[in-house]
Amino acid sequence: MRLLRIANEGAKSLTANKVRTFFMMAGTIVGIAALVVIMAIGKGTEQKVKKRVETWGPRAIMLIAGGGKDLPPPDMNITTLRLEDAQAIREQIEGVEIVSPQAWRFSMDLKHETNQIQAVVWGVEPNWHDAWNWFAVEGEGIAADDVATMARVCVIGSSVKRDLFGGADPVGQTLYVNKVALTVKGVLEHKGTGGMGVVSDFDNRIIVPITTAMRRIMNVDYVGAIRIVSKDIALMPKQVEAIRALIHERHHITPPLEDDFRLITSTVIGDLARGTSRTLSLLLGALAGLSLLVGGVVLMNILLISVAERTKEIGLRRAVGATQRDVFLQFLTESLAVTFLGMLLGTALGWGISVVLSKVSPMPVVVSWEPFALAAVFALLVGTFFGVQPARRAAKLSPVEALR
């Protein structure tokens, strides 16, 4: 009962000075809101990384033409990789399950009757389906005979099916790529969005036999990349180094010459996915910490002012029997009440911002229960740490001096 009475007195004091109470809460509100948004972005990034690694393939290694450490959009003007490089990897690298060379072109014109779009065109071998775990759900995929005969066939993504053929069955129909007529023999399963570089819609593509792509459509004698799938993820670090050494030897690369290729694994893909939100998370983290610190300092100073303004009230309470402990608990309760109310408003604000971000931006955002628990802990820490000093000062006031 005593604690309830003390809490009731604190609540009356806070509601009597609503503007001052709001200013005490402001820093906590901003800090907790930023904290909730940070954790929502972090959770979203974690899920995005897992999804990208699953899409990429945890046992996959990508050998991409062109040097550099980053992963810019592939450039088909780079002619350093050849089909012979893929054959050498098959023969000389141990523990490799699939080696799949691929040629590609971005933003190529596709036409069917009066409909025309732009899409990515990939020249592939039959093992491309297994290498990417991406198969035809309608019709058939690329077959060995298609590659051997330079067949004028293609397998299209679901976005190409929708945009070129509408509701019609595309299998068996003809589309044109650079005036080359191709018969649609299948439709790839839907993958959705989330690609890197210039590719944002995985399904806005067609695949054709690699011989057809290189000789009939693109007129090239080189490939853009070679996808390698390892038999065992534990072998990948050694395989990456072995592939690097092999390509150095084949391309006559010695110091100080730079590599004319990049080796990309799921680890690199995960790092790239995390990098997008890391800077923002750091900025929001700094904002949250600074807001909580400033909010705590403001809270402490306003409570100290409140102690000075309520000196007579404190003296009167002491005179009628309130102990130092009672006064200390009242002011500490006020501090905790302010921070917990700020926590509730801050988490509501942060939740709202997170929901809006998930709707209007490509940023990965997932709201979970963890931010609310952490916000409660921070509110307790801030309220206790910055509320102790004003509470101690109020409790130490002499009743006689206070009543004067």
* Tens digits of residue pLDDT in 197-242: 444 688 999 999 999 999 999 999 999 999 999 999 889 889 999 9
- At 257-287, the pLDDT tens digits run 888 898 888 776 666 555 555 666 666 667 6
- Whether 79 maps to a domain, the answer reads yes
Which residue, 211, 233, 259, sits at the end of a domain?
A: 259
pTM over 0.75: no
Burial, 376: exposed, middle or buried (Cβ in 10 Å; 0-12, 13-18, 19+)? Answer: middle
278 lies in the same domain as 213:
no
- Whether 62 maps to a domain, the answer reads no
- Whether 60 maps to a domain, the answer reads no
109 lies in the same domain as 208:
yes
230 lies in the same domain as 95:
yes
Which residue, 259, 294, 321, sits at the end of a domain?
A: 259
- Whether 133 maps to a domain, the answer reads yes
Residue 203: closest CA among 93, 88, 122: 122
- At 149-203, the pLDDT tens digits run 999 999 999 999 999 998 899 999 999 998 899 999 999 999 876 544 444 688 9
Residue 336: closest CA among 11, 1, 2: 11
47 lies in the same domain as 77:
no
Instruction: State how beta strands 96-112 and 115-124 pair.
Output: antiparallel
- Whether 266 maps to a domain, the answer reads no
Distance CA(179)–CA(109), nearest Å, equals 9
6 lies in the same domain as 111:
no
- Whether 57 maps to a domain, the answer reads no
pLDDT at 336 (0 to 100): 80
143 lies in the same domain as 289:
no
Distance CA(366)–CA(222), nearest Å, equals 43
41 lies in the same domain as 96:
no
Residue 370: closest CA among 384, 354, 359, 386: 354
Instruction: Work out the angle at residue 395's Cα, subtended by the Cα atoms of residues 390 and 397, and round it to the nearest 5 degrees.
Output: 100
Domain count, the chain: 2
- At 39-78, the pLDDT tens digits run 787 777 777 766 766 677 788 999 998 875 555 455 556 7
Distance CA(223)–CA(41), nearest Å, equals 37
Which residue, 224, 259, 294, sits at the end of a domain?
A: 259
Most confident of 92-106, 341-355, 390-404: 92-106
Structure token digits, residue 48: 């995005």
310 lies in the same domain as 365:
yes
Mean per-residue pLDDT, 90-98: 94
pLDDT at 196 (0 to 100): 47
324 lies in the same domain as 373:
yes
pLDDT at 161 (0 to 100): 95
Residue 24: closest CA among 278, 302, 223: 302
9 lies in the same domain as 75:
no
Domain that holds residue 252: 67-259
Residue 108: closest CA among 175, 170, 196: 175
In the predicted model, what is the mean pLDDT of the chain?
81
Instruction: Work out the angle at residue 178's Cα, subtended by the Cα atoms of residues 173 and 181, and round it to the nearest 5 degrees.
Output: 30
Distance CA(23)–CA(25), nearest Å, equals 5
96 lies in the same domain as 225:
yes
Asked if 42 and 371 count as a contact pair (C-beta separation under 8 A), the reply is no
41 lies in the same domain as 181:
no
Say whether the peptide bond before residue 256 is cis (omega within 30 degrees of 0).
yes
- Whether 61 maps to a domain, the answer reads no
- Whether 267 maps to a domain, the answer reads no
Asked if 291 and 382 count as a contact pair (C-beta separation under 8 A), the reply is no
Residues 6+ apart with CB under 8 A from 65: 74, 75, 78, 79, 80, 81, 222, 223, 224, 225, 260, 261
- The 3-class secondary structure across the chain, one letter per residue, is CHHHHHHHHHHHHHHHCHHHHHHHHHHHHHHHHHHHHHHHHHHHHHHHHHHHHHHHCCCEEEEEECCCCCCCCCCCCCCCECHHHHHHHHHHCCCEEEEEEEEEEEEEEEEECCEEEEEEEEEECCCHHHHHCCCEEEECCCCHHHHHCCCCEEEECHHHHHHHHCCCCCCCCEEEECCEEEEEEEEECCCCECCCCCCCECCCEEEEEHHHHHHHHCCCCCECEEEEEECCHHHHHHHHHHHHHHHHHHHCCCCCCCCCEEEEEHHHHHHHHHHHHHHHHHHHHHHHHHHHHHHHHHHHHHHHHHHHHCHHHHHHHHHCCCCHHHHHHHHHHHHHHHHHHHHHHHHHHHHHHHHHHHHHCCCCCCCCCHHHHHHHHHHHHHHHHHHHHHHHHHHCCCHHHHHC
Distance CA(268)–CA(53), nearest Å, equals 9
